[in-house]
């Protein structure tokens, strides 16, 4: 029986269904022959050996990021006729660039491992020059990293770059680049939008604190603006004007520099093709869109929780603000800040930004203590006779330089085992699913793990709405919702695969206190016993002096519940 490495999801080229097929990572949308024997498929995975290797890899990728950012600053200034500094360009391209390095690193290791450790006669791959890695914007890139065709093309480019001596069979892809199917979003009425634009233009030169895309509800955000002594403002989000890919423009980019680092050489080789359209072809049009938004010319400060990440128009504005040396404050909007080994590489925790956390303070690093913005203004009473709400991990939304699907699958298996082990309580179980379970990886996670579970499934109701009818909440991952529940004092338990592998050593001790309180579990059977023991009286455990003391200690200077915005306004004044 022959062996073949496939870098395509189309298996029509197999000589027989008995051939051994080697694939890199999982391909979730095999276009397969019905007679294909799945026992003949070998999946190559590249897992980190230990926490040290993971930490070293993030450091390595970050060092490459710094080198490439400097070179891209020079090239993009030359292409666009600008003199922006590196920090200014980092605001526009930083998030995409770092995540591009991460995903390329993961796939590069997989390709190297497959070529080095496996014997096969042929490589069937996408013709590398027939598919471009470019996307429209940063959000498109997130979706592309979960798309089989995009990854298979990336792998084909890597294998071609590594100059394998194996026989290669090239096939053409069905499309020339990744195209995301976008859901229709609610648009602000044109007349209302025009009114806001007019008001913004009138006050364009007023020195205000610009609050944009915060974690707060609309009315709460406007109250904060009033408490700062300024008229509330609103900037409706605009759709990006994205132009077509220009191959000739990209040929002008000069990024190749030979080094002893093969991976870095590959990145330099690939970047001209991979840079998103919003950075090159659409730069001038997006800049014009930004100016028409009538953002304040010289605000005293800028505060945002989300605008720095996926809002390209606002990122162009922030880029100008950086050059004016106006303070930019990023508000914490989720968990994993400070606790994870990779959090220090988050661009929002680094210069030129200042960061307002949910409780952590380190003014030497421009980190200021706020409070949990997500629970501000919320008082939620759960139902002691209500349901077990199971909150599942979104898939494909975090980009790592190592394999990530193994952890997703282990955490999904935990949910299935828990539901099946609580068979007599199924009528009391509600499963809170994430839209990514159906939309990412061709629906693999929903179809494989959740579809056939005989419990109520909920994609649409908000997390906070579901809390009101739940007696206990289970999380299968280290979740933002978990921190929100501890902030609101909602009974919660959790268990996830490889409990401490993602945590900074400084926080391992903090999480182990939750194990003592029977909130975080390292063992499935212990979790199951705990739920069964306290199911009829959750408060006996949750409201006990010991449990409440540990929750208070965990939240202290880390996850503060505050129903007064005074300390936020003091920071922003």
Question: For 197-253, what is each residue's pLDDT tens digit?
Answer: 666 776 666 789 999 999 899 889 999 999 999 988 888 888 999 999 999 999 999
Find, among 67, 103, 58, the residue nearest to 261 by Cα: 67
Count H helices and E strands in the chain, helices first: 20, 15
Residue 127 has pLDDT above 90, yes or no: yes
- Weakest-pLDDT range from 116-130, 471-485, 548-562: 116-130
List Cβ neighbours of 295 (8 Å cut-off, separation of 6 or more). Answer: 200, 204, 210, 235, 317
* pLDDT one-digit tens code per residue, 389-428: 999 999 988 888 988 888 899 999 999 999 999 988 889 9
* pLDDT one-digit tens code per residue, 149-178: 899 999 999 999 999 888 998 998 889 999
Q: Is 160 left (phi over 0), alpha (psi -120 to 50) or beta?
A: alpha
* Predicted pLDDT of residue 59: 96
Find, among 236, 187, 188, the residue nearest to 212 by Cα: 236
Sign of the C-alpha dihedral, residues 560, 568, 354, 196?
Answer: positive
- The arrangement of strands across the sheet holding 367-369 comes to 209-211, 301-304, 328-331, 354-357, 367-369
Sign of the C-alpha dihedral, residues 103, 106, 109, 113?
Answer: negative
Pairing of strands 41-44, 122-126: unpaired
Task: Look up residue 132 and give its DSSP letter.
Answer: B
Q: Are 115 and 159 in contact (CB under 8 A)?
A: yes
Residue 458's CB is within 10 A of a number of other CB atoms, namely: 16
Q: Are 55 and 290 in contact (CB under 8 A)?
A: no
């Amino acid at each position: 029986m022959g062996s073949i490495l496939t870098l395509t999801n189309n298996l029509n080229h197999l000589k027989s269904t008995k051939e051994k097929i080697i694939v890199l990572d999982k391909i979730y949308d095999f276009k397969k022959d019905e007679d294909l024997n799945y026992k003949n498929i070998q999946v190559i995975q590249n897992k980190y050996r230990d926490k040290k290797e993971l930490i070293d890899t993030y450091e390595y990728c970050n060092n490459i990021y710094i080198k490439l950012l400097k070179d891209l600053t020079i090239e993009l200034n030359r292409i666009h006729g600008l003199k922006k500094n590196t920090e200014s360009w980092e605001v526009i391209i930083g998030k995409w660039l770092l995540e591009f390095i991460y995903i390329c690193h993961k796939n590069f290791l997989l390709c190297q491992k497959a070529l080095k450790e496996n014997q096969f006669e042929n490589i069937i791959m996408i013709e590398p020059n027939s598919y471009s890695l470019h996307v429209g914007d940063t959000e498109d890139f997130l979706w592309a990293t979960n798309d089989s065709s995009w990854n298979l093309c990336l792998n084909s480019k890597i294998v071609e770059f590594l100059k394998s001596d194996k026989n290669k069979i090239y096939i053409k892809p069905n499309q020339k680049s990744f195209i995301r199917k976008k859901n229709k979003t609610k648009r602000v009425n044109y007349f209302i939008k025009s009114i806001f634009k007019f008001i913004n233009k009138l006050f364009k030169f007023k020195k205000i604190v610009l609050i944009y895309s915060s974690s707060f509800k609309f009315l709460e955000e406007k109250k904060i603006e009033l408490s700062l002594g300024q008229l509330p403002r609103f900037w409706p989000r605009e759709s990006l004007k994205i132009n077509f890919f220009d191959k000739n423009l990209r040929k002008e980019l000069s990024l190749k520099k030979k080094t002893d680092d093969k991976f870095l050489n590959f990145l330099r080789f690939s970047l001209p093709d991979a840079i998103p359209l919003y950075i090159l072809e659409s730069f001038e049009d997006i800049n014009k869109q930004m100016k028409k938004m009538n953002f304040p010319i010289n605000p005293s400060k800028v505060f945002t929780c989300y605008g720095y990440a996926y809002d390209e128009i606002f990122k162009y504005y922030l880029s100008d603000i950086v050059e004016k040396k106006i303070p930019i404050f990023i508000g914490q909007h989720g968990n994993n800040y400070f606790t994870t080994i990779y959090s220090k590489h988050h661009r929002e925790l680094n210069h030129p930004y200042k960061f307002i956390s949910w409780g952590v303070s380190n003014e030497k690093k421009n980190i200021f203590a706020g409070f949990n913005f997500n629970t501000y203004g919320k008082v939620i009473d759960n139902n002691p006779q209500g349901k077990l709400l199971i909150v599942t991990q979104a898939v494909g939304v975090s980009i790592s330089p190592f394999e990530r699907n193994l952890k997703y699958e282990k955490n999904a298996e935990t949910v299935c085992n828990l539901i099946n082990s609580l068979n007599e309580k199924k009528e009391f179980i509600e499963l809170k699913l994430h839209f990514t379970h159906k939309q990412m990886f061709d629906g693999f996670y929903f179809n494989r793990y959740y579809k056939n579970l005989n419990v109520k499934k909920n994609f649409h109701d908000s997390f906070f709405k579901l809390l009101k009818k739940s007696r206990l909440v289970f999380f299968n991952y280290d979740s933002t919702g978990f921190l929100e529940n501890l902030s609101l004092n909602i009974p919660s338990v959790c268990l996830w695969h490889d409990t401490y592998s993602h945590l900074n050593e400084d926080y391992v001790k903090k999480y182990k206190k939750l194990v003592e309180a029977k909130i975080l579990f390292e063992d499935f059977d212990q979790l199951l016993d705990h739920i069964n023991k306290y199911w009829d009286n959750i408060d006996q455990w949750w409201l006990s002096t010991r449990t409440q003391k540990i929750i208070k200690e965990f939240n202290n200077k880390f996850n503060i519940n505050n129903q007064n915005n005074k300390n936020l306004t003091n920071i922003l004044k």
